[in-house]
Amino acid sequence: MIPLRPPLDSLGAADYILKCIKACWNEEPEHRPDIRYVRVRLKEMQAGLKPNIFDNMLSIMEKYAYNLEGLVQERTNQLTEEKKKTDALLHRMLPKSVADSLKKGEKVEAESFGCVTIYFSDIVGFTELSAVSTPLQVIDLLNDLYTLFDSIISHYDVYKVETIGDAYMVVSGLPIRNGDRHAGEIASMALHLLSKIKKFEIKHRQGEVLQLRIGIHSGHVVAGVVGLKMPRYCLFGDTVNTASRMETYGEAFRVHISHTTYTLLQRLGGYTCEERGVIHIK
C-alpha cells in the first residue's frame, strides 16, 4: 500500500522544515527522529523572536518529562539488578528448577528418586585446629575452603545441599534425573576436590595441609522443600545416613565408597577402585 502524504510544494516552508517533515514520515518507526531532534530543528523558526511565557512553560515541561523519563529508567535498572541478586541468592538456597517453580507460585511436592549419589566430607582434626585458632580465623578458613569447593563443584552436574561446620554435603541425580551419571559426577568431583585440597593454604597455619575425608553412597531418597520463611531443599532416607557413615568411617585423603556406588562406577567405566574389606558400620 502506498502511504498518503499531503503535498509540500505549496507550503513555502524552509528546506530544513521540509526535511524534518519528510524524516518524520519514514515508514520505519525506528528511523524517525525523536521529539528532541524535531524541537531543535524547529527552534530555527524562532530565530530573532522574543520567547513568550508559553514557550518557557513548554520548555520547562519538556525538561521535567525528560528528567522523569531518565529517573524512571534509572529506577528500573536498579530494580532489575536487585531482582538478579535475589534470584542468584534463591538459586544458592534451592535447585534452579525448584526455585523457578516457587517464583511462579507453584507448589513443590516432595518427590521420590530411585537412585542418586550423595557425597559427604569433613576435615580430620578440625576440632583440634579450631581449638588453637581464633573464631575469626576459623570463619576465614571455612570461607576460603568453601569458596574453593563451590568453584569446583560448579563444573559438575551436582547440587550442594548444605554445609555444617566443616561438613560438606553434595548430591547428584536430583531434582533433574541424569540416569546413572550421578555416580560418575560425584566420583569425579570428589577426586577433583582431593587434588585441590592438597594445595590449599591455611593463612594462619602456614605449612599445614587440611586432611579431607570423603564418603559416597548411592541409593533411594525423598527430596522436598521444607520451611516457608527460609525454605531448604532437604533429602530424607537411609541413603543419606549411609553416605554420612561412609565419610565417618573413611580415611583422610581417601574416597570411601559403598558397594552400590562401586557397582555404578564399574558400569560407567574409567574409575579404579581398591577393596578395603569388611567394615562394620553402625
Percent of all residues in the chain with a pLDDT value above 70, rounded to a whole number: 93
Contacts 24+ apart (CB under 8 A), 111-115: 111/174, 111/175, 111/222, 111/223, 111/224, 112/220, 112/221, 112/222, 113/173, 113/174, 113/177, 113/220, 113/221, 113/222, 113/223, 114/220, 115/173, 115/180, 115/182, 115/218, 115/219, 115/220, 115/264
Task: Return the residue matching grid coordinates 531543535.
Answer: 40
Position 165 scores a pLDDT of: 86
Confidence of residue 262 (pLDDT cuts 50, 70, 90): very high
Residues 120 and 219 in one domain: yes
Task: Return the residue matching grid coordinates 502524504.
Answer: 5
Residues 241 and 116 in one domain: yes
Question: What integer is the mean pLDDT of 188-197?
Answer: 94
Judge whether 15 lies within some domain.
yes
What is the C-alpha to C-alpha distance for residues 250 and 274, in angstroms, rounded to an integer? 13
Judge whether 14 lies within some domain.
yes
Residues 264 and 130 in one domain: yes
Judge whether 77 lies within some domain.
no
Judge whether 60 lies within some domain.
no
Plot region of 95 (φ>0 → left; ψ -120 to 50 → alpha; else → beta): beta
Judge whether 75 lies within some domain.
no
Question: What integer is the mean pLDDT of 195-207?
Answer: 88
CA 184 from centre of chain:
23
What is the C-alpha to C-alpha distance for residues 6 and 242, in angstroms, rounded to an integer? 84
Residues 162 and 252 in one domain: yes
Position 17 scores a pLDDT of: 78
What is the C-alpha to C-alpha distance for residues 112 and 227, in angstroms, rounded to an integer? 19
The boundaries of the domain holding residue 205 are: 110-268
Position 197 scores a pLDDT of: 93
CB 118 within 8 A of CB 237: no
User: How open is the CA angle 55-59-61, to the nearest 5 degrees?
Assistant: 115
Confidence of residue 58 (pLDDT cuts 50, 70, 90): low
What is the C-alpha to C-alpha distance for residues 95 and 98, in angstroms, rounded to an integer? 5
Residues 255 and 127 in one domain: yes
Position 119 scores a pLDDT of: 97
Residues 229 and 129 in one domain: yes
Q: DSSP state, 2? A: P
Q: Is the pLDDT of residue 258 over 70?
A: yes
Q: What is the mean pLDDT of the chain?
A: 85
Residues 141 and 238 in one domain: yes
Burial (Cβ within 10 Å: 0-12, 13-18, ≥19) of residue 217: buried
Where residue 218 sits, what CATH number does that domain have?
Answer: 3.30.70.1230
DSSP per residue, 49-101: SPP-HHHHHHHHHHHHHHHHHHHHHHHHHHHHHHHHHHHHHHHHHS-HHHHHH
Which of 162-166, 190-194, 209-213 is predicted with the least confidence, judged by mean pLDDT?
A: 162-166
Residues 247 and 128 in one domain: yes
Judge whether 85 lies within some domain.
no
Judge whether 71 lies within some domain.
no
Judge whether 57 lies within some domain.
no
Predicted TM-score (pTM) above 0.75: no
Confidence of residue 280 (pLDDT cuts 50, 70, 90): confident
Q: Is the pLDDT of residue 63 over 60?
A: yes
CA 250 from centre of chain:
32
Residues 7 and 139 in one domain: no
Residues 126 and 234 in one domain: yes
CB 185 within 8 A of CB 265: no
- Pairing of the two strands 211-226 and 111-124: antiparallel
Q: Is the pLDDT of residue 276 over 90?
A: no
User: What is the number of domains present in the chain?
Assistant: 2
